[in-house]
């Protein structure tokens, strides 16, 4: 098993990455287990934030690192909350507060289209000159009523018309097959295989 530091302490993300990477013989270690503090995320794009987080985790651990920066972009709100998704309701906001702010912001909008974005970056070391970078999207709509007990973040309000379910109503294995994070990880694995 190859050790890989995950530049996140988000329990939902840690669980998803551990499940998705287990078949590829990676031992995913959340940075918090190594005493690594979260990196600053000052950038305007998902890719730049993910790269900063990956380099920070690798520098602190001396191990290869994987980081994602992900969020939801509402089409009627010019892509908001975007890179601010986790802190949309403020620094001390939680998933419930973030979701309520988004629902309120969309209250008078006819266009409820949205997409999740996942930017994944993997570095072999802090100064890796060729980081692996993948960015994917998962399209759906924002609904006003939460449904489902799985997932985290905006999942209970992210409706998938083709499945007639929210992301939180999907079985975790099904979600991992079609989600933005699952798509990104498969692309990343393909890139890893092509480098081997």
SS3 content of the chain, % helix, strand, coil (to 5): 40, 25, 35
**Given the residues 69, 94, 155, 171, the one annotated as active site:** 69
**Domains: count for the chain:** 1
**41-52 confidence digits (pLDDT tens):** 899 999 999 999
Q: Is residue 129 over pLDDT 90?
A: yes
What is the value of pTM for the model shown? Answer: 0.90
User: Is 69 marked active-site?
Assistant: yes
Cβ burial, residue 145 (10 Å; 0-12/13-18/19+): exposed
Tokens at residue 150, please? 């799985």
Tokens of 63: 């191990």
Q: Are the CB atoms for 60 and 42 separated by under 8 Å? A: no
DSSP-based three-state secondary structure for 135? strand
- CATH number, domain of 74, equals 3.90.950.10
Exposed, middle or buried by CB within 10 Å (0-12, 13-18, 19+), for 37?
A: exposed
Q: How many residues does the chain have?
A: 196
The tokens for 139 are 């399209």
Q: What's the rounded Cα separation, in Å, for the pair 3 and 120?
A: 17
Structure tokens of 166? 């929210």
| 26 or 129, higher pLDDT | 129
Q: Which of 39, 196, 19 is nearest to 121 (CA)?
A: 39
Percent of the chain beyond pLDDT 90? 76
What pLDDT is stored for residue 158 in this prediction?
98
The alpha carbons of the chain give a radius of gyration, in whole angstroms, of 16
Domain encompassing residue 78: 2-195
């Amino acid at each position: 098993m190859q050790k890989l530091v995950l530049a996140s302490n988000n329990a939902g993300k840690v669980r998803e990455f551990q499940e998705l990477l287990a078949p590829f013989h990676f031992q995913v270690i959340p940075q918090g287990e190594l005493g690594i503090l979260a990196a600053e995320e000052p950038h305007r794009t998902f890719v730049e934030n993910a790269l900063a987080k990956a380099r920070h985790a690798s520098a602190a651990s001396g191990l290869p690192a994987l980081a994602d920066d992900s969020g939801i972009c509402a089409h009627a709100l010019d892509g908001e909350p975007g890179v601010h998704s986790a802190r949309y309701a403020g620094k001390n906001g939680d998933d419930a507060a973030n979701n309520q702010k988004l629902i309120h912001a969309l209250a008078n909008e006819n266009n409820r289209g949205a997409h999740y974005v996942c930017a994944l970056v993997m570095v072999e070391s802090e100064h890796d000159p060729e980081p692996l970078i993948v960015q994917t999207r998962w399209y759906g709509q924002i609904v006003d009523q939460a449904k489902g007990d799985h997932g985290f973040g905006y999942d209970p309000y992210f409706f998938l018309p083709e499945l007639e379910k929210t992301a939180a109503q999907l079985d975790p294995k099904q979600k991992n097959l079609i989600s933005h994070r699952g798509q990104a990880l498969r692309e990343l694995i393909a890139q890893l295989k092509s480098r081997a």
